[in-house]
Amino acid sequence: MQNLKRAFWSALALLVLLWLIAEPSIFQSTTFFALRGSMVQLSGIAAIGCMSLAMLLALRPRWPEQWLGGLDKMYRLHKWLGIAALVVATIHWLWSEGPKWAVGWGVLERPARGPRPAIENSIEALFANLREVAEGLGEWAFYATVVLIALALIQYFPYRLFQKTHRLLAVAYLLLVFHAVVLFKFSYWTSPVGVVMAVLLASGTRAAVIVLLRRVGAGRQVKCAITSLQYYPGVRTLETEIEVPHGWPGHKPGQFAFATSDASEGAHPYTIASSWHADNPRITFITKELGDHTSHLREKLRVGQEMKVEGPYGCFTFDDDRPHQIWIGGGIGITPFVARMKHLSIQKGDPDWPAAQTIDLFHTTADVDEAALGKLAADASSADVRLHVLVDARDGRLTGDRIREAATQWRDASIWFCGPTGFGEALKRDFAAHGFPVKDRFHQELFAMR
């Protein structure tokens, strides 16, 4: 999370700093309308800059994943950038429109304008002629962006509709690029802020086109087929095994993939619940009936059905050298730990087997299915993992005190959490209050893609 915050605030700070280099006279503004012109430029640069970065992250690039902590963290940054773009764009709109309203109400007096100097640069003259068109398109694109980002932030808005409407943001972005290029102060283009904005706008435009062509992650997609389906009614969970004959690069336990079983529904992210073996190229997903899509998977999927899988993604891969690990899986958050246990049970005796590392797995659940819990216990036993199952109605809530009491080596451990975000944040605060170095050793997957 620290790297996410650094990336977010650094991007904003860099844009402001580069603008100040190009516009040092801002500190000498003597009139409101002079200040207004500068603020319109600054807010516009910050808004389209944030939106451009958000568009780049929408491509699910691999190069920043390790530094940012995984694609799940990158989507959190994507969300922050989208919200920042919305807030700053609103400020930009108010700086642009507010003074006009004030003049109309008689609160402000528009300064007298002298004759405009002739424009000798042909490109600048072209932009001047397009100014009115760019302002109109930019205003309507802003209104559309407000609506589309608001829909993306409403969790109850169905995912299948979210995917379709969110793609329209690429269209709004392209209109805003035209707006920004035409209205960007022409003298800025030869300054550092102009160079950076040119790169951002060009890269963002490329990303928007890829999004509109539905080519995001196309180079990492493989075709596969469902080989088995098993439903656990007690926990309302479906286990789907698929065969991946060609193209899958392999994955580490704890990583996830995007799976598409219905083109109209689009790709959904699922944690992979199996280890990888090239001689038996199969992947298992475990999905819980939580939303509109997952609630109907049992009816829609069938053995032999073709699917597309894209990935793998994520850095929740249990990589550390701590003598002890504490795993905490809340509900369906048990999935990455299942994959890791299957991997450990098969890799026993291999050189990379962490023989000296002890592991406590805490699984807290509101639902119970004896068959599912039996498989979980068998996986834990095979991997030499100490399993602690807590059923909410029977055992009460899992707390930091209960974890520390059962896992007495907690001070020397790393903690790996997957489950409800609020639960994870509460445990993180609890362990931090007891002196545990949560920044370095508390790993939490932010499995929320919107």
Give me the tens of pLDDT residue by residue for the chain, a chain 450 residues long.
778 999 999 999 999 999 999 998 877 767 888 888 899 999 999 999 999 999 999 999 988 988 998 998 999 999 999 999 999 999 999 999 998 898 889 888 887 776 777 788 899 889 989 999 999 999 999 999 999 999 988 877 777 788 889 999 999 999 999 999 999 999 999 999 999 999 999 999 999 999 999 999 998 999 999 999 999 998 889 999 999 988 899 999 999 999 998 887 788 889 999 988 888 899 999 998 877 778 888 889 999 999 999 999 999 999 888 999 999 999 889 999 999 999 988 876 666 666 678 999 999 998 888 998 999 999 999 999 999 999 988 999 999 999 999 999 999 999 999 999 899 999 999 999 999 999 999 999 876 666
Which residue type, as a one-letter code, is found at position 234? G
In the chain, ranges of CATH 1.20.120 domains: 2-112+119-212
- Judge contact between 145 and 174, C-beta under 8 A: no
Q: Which fold has domain 219-313?
A: Elongation Factor Tu (Ef-tu); domain 3 (2.40.30)
In the chain, ranges of CATH 3.40.50.80 domains: 324-444
Residues 6+ apart with CB under 8 A from 117: none
Give the separation between CA 173 and CA 145, rounded to whole angstroms.
Answer: 8
Q: Tokens in use for 375?
A: 């498989």
Which residue type, as a one-letter code, is found at position 345? S
- Judge contact between 389 and 376, C-beta under 8 A: yes
Query: How big is the chain, counted in residues?
Result: 450
CB atoms within 10 A of CB 202: 12
| Residue 41 falls in which region: left (phi positive, over 0), alpha (psi -120 to 50) or beta | alpha
CATH for 2-112+119-212 is: 1.20.120
DSSP letter at 110 equals P
Answer whether 0.75 is exceeded by the pTM.
yes
* CATH architecture, range 324-444: 3-Layer(aba) Sandwich (3.40)
Residues 6+ apart with CB under 8 A from 150: none
Q: Which residues pair with 197 in a beta bridge?
A: none
In the chain, ranges of CATH 2.40.30.10 domains: 219-313
Residue written as token pair 């970065």 = 53
Distance linking the first and last C-alpha atoms of the chain? 17
Residue written as token pair 């020397």 = 412
Residues 6+ apart with CB under 8 A from 206: none
pLDDT value of residue 133:
96
CB atoms within 10 A of CB 410: 19
pLDDT value of residue 354:
63
Give the separation between CA 301 and CA 261, rounded to whole angstroms.
Answer: 8
- Judge contact between 261 and 227, C-beta under 8 A: no
SS3 category, 25: helix
Supply angle C-alpha 382, 447, 317, rounded to 5: 40
- Judge contact between 62 and 7, C-beta under 8 A: no
